[in-house]
Amino acid sequence: MYGQAIKEEPVVKRERERERKVQKLTGSRDGLGGLVRFVGFALLIASIVRELRLPKAERTWHGVLFGKVPYDLRPPTFERLKSTLWDPQNSRVVVPTALGVGWTVNLAALRQRLPGASAP
């Protein structure tokens, strides 16, 4: 019995090393995901603060942060969601989002760029 435990020890040690490597790799991905979530949350807070600093009559709840990042905090409507996600008149693939902070994909423009897509 005692001899078997000694023989299995290198296998257990290798398995633990493998687990540490996986945790290390996974941890780095979680770190990047955590950073992305943090930045997104910070931009959301910044957009809310920006609107709340305006007089009540001037609040639109949509605009641009730092001259680059679009935001829209208004309640979404079906028409606005549809025109953001599917706008064949707009050739841009990445467009300002219909709800939240950042950008979203215009699926109509993406479809037009795919090989084999028919012309409108």
- Mean of the pLDDT values across residues 74-83? 95
Q: What is the pLDDT of residue 10?
A: 72
Q: Is the dihedral angle over the CA atoms 44, 47, 68, 39 positive or is it negative? A: negative
- Could you tell me which residue, 115 or 56, shows the higher pLDDT? 56
Tell me what percent of the residues of the chain surpass a pLDDT of 70.
Answer: 82
What is the spatial distance between Cα 62 and Cα 53, in angstroms, rounded to a whole number?
Answer: 14
Q: How many residues does the chain have?
A: 120
pLDDT higher than 90, residue 12: no
Q: Each residue of 13-68: pLDDT tens digit?
A: 777 787 777 666 655 556 788 888 999 999 999 999 999 999 999 999 999 999 99
Please state the domain extents for the chain. 2-113
Question: Hunting for tokens 């037009």 — which residue is that?
Answer: 112
